[in-house]
Amino acid sequence: MPKFAANLSTMFTELSFLERFAAAREAGFDAVEFQFPYTCEPEWIAGRLARYNLELVLHNFPAGNWPGGDRGMACDPRRMTEFQDSVELALDYADELGVKQLHCMAGILPPHVPRARAHATYIANLRFAAAALKKKGLALLIEPINDRDVPGYFLTGSRQAASVIRECAVDNLFLQFDIYHAQRMEGDLANTIRDLLPLIRHIQLADVPGRHEPGTGEINFPYLFKLLDELGYDGWIGCEYTPAAGTLEGLRWRGTQHVAPVSAPQG
């Protein structure tokens, strides 16, 4: 069976962010991921990781003004300086938190920007970020996101991402394969995983429809987990789903013994 990391941006949201680390450990997780750490001091998060003996497997670069609709800025030619600053901030956190891979959101195609120009900007920004991360021994990940949930998102297909990785021609750029987004955009999950496995460094999951836990929708997760074992995938699978009826109740798909989470002190 693959190894699973709790996504603390979408799971255990009954608790404050810093309390979720204890809850993940008590629910049987050995690793966590989250989208954005930047509202917390890095030492607060590092303390929770150490206290509960959790590995941090992933977080994102800053995505810009998220409440204002930003979903990254890597394809926006008007924001290249801001993007470079965001890479520096992400690396500051990565140093403190011990994470080995970071995800760069492509962003939404800006109005009045030709797609070819946005593509050239995206490639240039990924090369810049990959070089900065390589100095620290880190991997850079890109993730296709479906354009039903995020209209106008620049990177929407697995094979589009594979083409971007080849064009960048750097050795620390990989694919973050999100099963939920791939099912919504493409389907054909098993064949895509087989074809692109050499590029896949991280996987995330949620079921379709609803983006809830496995077993609530149409995806045959037992088949995919078995396939990943057969293919030798040894990376983490991030559980980036919204529980349908509470986090602990939603863990039945994993066969986990449920225990009540304890509170972690703020700090």
Q: How far apart are CA 3 and CA 238, in angstroms?
A: 9
Length of the chain equals: 267
> Which residue from 77, 226, 101 is spatially nearest to 176, judged by alpha carbons?
101
Q: Helix, strand, or coil here: 248?
A: coil
| Structural contact between residues 203 and 210, judged by C-beta atoms closer than 8 angstroms | no
Beta strand 55-60 pairing with 101-103: parallel
| Structural contact between residues 205 and 179, judged by C-beta atoms closer than 8 angstroms | yes
Helices (H), the chain: 20-26, 42-51, 80-97, 115-134, 158-168, 179-185, 189-196, 221-231
Structure tokens at 160: 């589009």
Residue 139: left if φ>0, alpha if ψ -120 to 50, beta else—which one?
beta
Q: Is 96 a catalytic site residue?
A: no
Residue tagged active-site, from 26, 143, 167, 186: 143
Q: Is 143 a catalytic site residue?
A: yes
Q: How far apart are CA 37 and CA 93, in angstroms?
A: 8
Look up residue 113 and give its amino acid. V
Residue tagged active-site, from 19, 33, 213, 240: 240
| Structural contact between residues 75 and 119, judged by C-beta atoms closer than 8 angstroms | yes
| Structural contact between residues 94 and 136, judged by C-beta atoms closer than 8 angstroms | yes
Q: Which residues are catalytic?
A: 143, 240
